Amino acid sequence: MNQFEVLADPVRRRIVELLAPGERTAGELTIAIGEEFGISQPAVSNQLRILRETGLASAQRRGSTRLYALQPEALDEVDAWLQRQRRFWDQRLDALGTELSRGRKEES
């Protein structure tokens, strides 16, 4: 499973968003995701496992707590793809902005 397939799932995407600011415990993630999506602890654990196995998240045990962290380098493939798309759209959006400006000037 590649990063695009992993992030296509809204639950996993939300977990990545929750991890972006910093580490979160498995319990915190389970509560947040369970409340938002109405899924059970085992279902959240399964999504966390997928994120770990694909390298998007890491888990570290601290006592009886498991802390999850985002692995930003795992998003490099997604970022590279977005950069290529952004260049394409930036040119077209700039051209659209120019045309819209011309239209406003002609209306005045």
Q: CB under 8 Å to 105, separation ≥6 — which residues?
A: none
Q: Class of the 3-107 domain?
A: mainly alpha
The DSSP bridge partners found for residue 65 are 62
pLDDT of residue 59: 97
Q: What is the pTM of this model?
A: 0.76
pLDDT of residue 103: 79
Mapped to the 3 state alphabet, what secondary structure does 48-76 carry?
Answer: HHHHHHCCCEEEEEECCEEEEEECHHHHH
pLDDT of residue 50: 97
pLDDT by residue for the chain (108 residues), tens only, comes to: 888 899 999 999 999 999 999 999 999 999 999 999 999 999 999 999 999 999 999 999 999 999 999 998 988 888 888 888 877 776 777 777 888 888 777 776
Contact 33, 51 (CB under 8 A): no
pLDDT of residue 38: 97
pLDDT of residue 108: 64
What are the structural domain ranges in the chain? Answer: 3-107
Considering Cα of 8, then 14, then 16, then 20, what sign does the dihedral take? Answer: positive
